[in-house]
């Protein structure tokens, strides 16, 4: 990854921050996208720049504003002079009963998980083609088997899986497009997920009988970017085997 530039959406914290740290450690310069998490983004950028000067930059943007997405790519290129990889990590996640779904819920979940990755790929396509770059989309194991009570989220991630394969076809042979589907990595922040018994049952259904870590996802992303030149259109489940027991 020496000399490469990577834009990570939702890169200020959680899995996004782990991806940024791992790719930076491999030599890449990182554009850390954030929406509201300014303090976390600036802290991560300061951390990375302390390790290697002028190697990280924070870029703010609302992924629900499609007309604003090209600016994220342009700002990254103005700062670093190029773009070699796009990591579509940012995601909205919440439950909503079918009877209560609204247009606003649709716009939020489909917008962050599917629409934004599409239009960011569109904005970055010419530069990624020029550099024989790559896109990695952070999907979800529930793209294949919907999560109970999370209808729209599951639909959005299913769409992202399809987008991953379609973009691989559209951007070949110059740009590789793959996905990583996390399982039990970090528990969501919502109150529904604070139930220890619920967590225990979920972990019990993983073959490895334990939770994963954000760096497990980051390592898979690094593999797809730097060590998998003949891999495209694939989605790797990093889930301790949970997806085959759902």
Which pLDDT score is estimated for 193? 74
Dihedral pair phi/psi, residue 109, rounded to 5°:
-70, -45
- Short-list 127, 113, 115, 238, CA closest to 186: 238
Residue 230 is among the residues annotated as catalytic for this protein: no
Helix or strand run (H / E) with residue 130: helix 116-130
Of the listed 10, 12, 34, 153, which one is catalytic?
153
Tokens found for residue 201: 């049952």
Biggest distance spanned by C-alpha atoms of the chain: 52
Which pLDDT score is estimated for 187? 82
Q: Could you report the per-residue pLDDT of 105-130, keeping only the tens digit for each?
A: 999 999 999 999 999 999 999 999 99
Which pLDDT score is estimated for 209? 95
CA distances to 74, 195, 208, 243 from 31, in Å = 11, 35, 34, 31
Range of the domain at 114: 5-244
Which pLDDT score is estimated for 32? 98
Number of domains in the chain: 1
CATH number at residue 152: 3.40.50.720
Up-side HSE of residue 112: CA atoms within 13 Å toward CB?
A: 21
> Which positions of the chain have pLDDT values less than 50?
none
Q: Is 93 left (phi over 0), alpha (psi -120 to 50) or beta?
A: beta
Tokens found for residue 171: 């951007």
In the β-sheet with 134-138, what is the strand arrangement from edge to edge?
A: 56-60, 29-34, 5-8, 85-88, 134-138, 176-182, 235-238
Instruction: Look up the pTM and report it.
Output: 0.95
């Amino acid at each position: 990854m020496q000399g490469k530039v990577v834009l990570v959406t939702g890169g200020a914290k959680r899995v996004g921050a782990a991806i940024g740290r791992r790719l930076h450690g491999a030599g890449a310069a990182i554009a850390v996208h954030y929406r509201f998490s300014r303090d976390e983004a600036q802290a991560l950028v300061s951390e990375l720049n302390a390790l290697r000067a002028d190697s990280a930059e924070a870029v703010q943007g609302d992924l629900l504003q499609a007309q604003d997405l090209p600016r994220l790519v342009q700002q990254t290129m103005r700062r670093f002079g190029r773009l070699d990889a796009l990591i579509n990590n940012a995601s909205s996640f919440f439950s909503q009963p079918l009877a209560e779904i609204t247009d606003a819920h649709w716009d939020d979940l489909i917008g962050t998980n599917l629409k934004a990755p599409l239009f960011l790929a569109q904005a970055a396509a010419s530069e990624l083609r020029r550099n024989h770059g790559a896109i990695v989309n952070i999907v979800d194991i529930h793209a294949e088997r919907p999560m109970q009570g999370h209808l729209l989220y599951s639909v959005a991630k299913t769409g992202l899986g399809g987008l991953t394969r379609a973009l691989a076809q559209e951007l070949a042979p110059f740009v590789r497009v793959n996905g990583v589907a996390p399982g039990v990595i970090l528990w969501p922040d919502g109150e529904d997920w604070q139930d220890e018994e619920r967590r225990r049952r979920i972990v019990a259904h993983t073959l490895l009988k334990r939770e994963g870590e954000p760096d497990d996802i980051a390592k898979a992303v690094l593999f797809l970017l730097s060590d998998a030149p003949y891999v495209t259109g694939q989605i790797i489940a990093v889930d301790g085997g949970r997806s085959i027991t759902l």
